[in-house]
Amino acid sequence: MSVLQEINPHVRNMKPLEYAILATRATQINEELKKGAKKPYQELIDVSSGDPHSTGVKPLSFVRQVLAACIYPQLLNSSRQPVDVKQRVKWLLGTCAGGSVGSYTATAGISQIVHRISEFITKRDGGIPSFPENIYISSGSQWSLANILNLLVDSEGSPKVGVLTPVPCYRTTALTINGLGAVTIPYHLSEEDGWELWVEELHRALESAKGICKPVAMYITNPGNPAGQIQSRKSMQEVIQFAYEKKLFLLADEVYQNVVIGEKWEFFSYKKVLFEMGHPFADSVELASFHSTSKGLMGECGLRGGYVELVNIDPSVMKYVYKLFSIDSCASIMGQIALDLMTNPPKPGDPSYPLYHEETQKIRSMLAHNMRRAHEVFNSLPGFSCQPVGGAFLFPTVHLPAKAIQKAKEVGLQPETFYTMRLLEDEGVFASPGCDYDQKEGTNHIRFSIMVAEDVMEELLRRVTRFQTQFMTDFS
CA distance 348 to 369: 26
pLDDT at 8: 65
- Together in a domain, 339 and 370: no
- Together in a domain, 276 and 245: yes
- Together in a domain, 248 and 303: yes
Residue that terminates a domain, selected from 343, 372, 402: 343
pLDDT at 473: 96
Please list, in sequence order, all residues whose beta carbon lies within 8 angstroms of the beta carbon of residue 242, skipping any fewer than 6 positions away.
199, 202, 203, 218, 248
Residue that terminates a domain, selected from 317, 343, 369: 343
- Together in a domain, 232 and 360: no
Residue 186 phi/psi, 5-degree rounding, is -75, 135
Asked if the structure places residue 168 within a domain, the reply is yes
pLDDT at 85: 98
The count of domains in the chain is 2
Sheet with 432-433: list strands edge to edge. 393-394, 446-449, 432-433
Asked if the structure places residue 230 within a domain, the reply is yes
- Together in a domain, 237 and 305: yes
- Together in a domain, 431 and 327: no
CA distance 467 to 475: 12
Asked if the structure places residue 81 within a domain, the reply is no
- Together in a domain, 337 and 373: no
**3-class secondary structure, 300:** coil
pLDDT at 157: 83
- Together in a domain, 339 and 386: no
> What is 19-44 written as a DSSP string?
HHHHHHHHHHHHHHHHTT---S-SS-
Q: Which of 221, 186, 191 is nearest to 206 (CA)?
A: 186
CA distance 123 to 130: 9
Rounded (10°) angle between helices 83-95 and 333-343: 130
Residue that terminates a domain, selected from 343, 367, 386: 343
Question: Which range of residues forms the domain containing residue 401?
Answer: 3-57+356-475
Please list, in sequence order, all residues whose beta carbon lies within 8 angstroms of the beta carbon of residue 431, skipping any fewer than 6 positions away.
47, 48, 420, 423, 424, 446, 447, 448
- Together in a domain, 238 and 321: yes
User: What CATH number corresponds to the domain at position 156?
Assistant: 3.40.640.10
CA distance 160 to 178: 11
Asked if the structure places residue 74 within a domain, the reply is no
User: What CATH number corresponds to the domain at position 463?
Assistant: 3.90.1150.10
**Ranges of residues in the chain whose predicted pLDDT is under 70:** 1-16
User: For 51-92, what is each residue's pLDDT tens digit?
Assistant: 999 999 999 999 999 999 999 999 999 999 999 999 999 999
- Together in a domain, 326 and 418: no
- Together in a domain, 50 and 110: no
Residue 289 phi/psi, 5-degree rounding, is -115, 130
- Together in a domain, 332 and 404: no
Cα end-to-end span (Å), the chain: 51
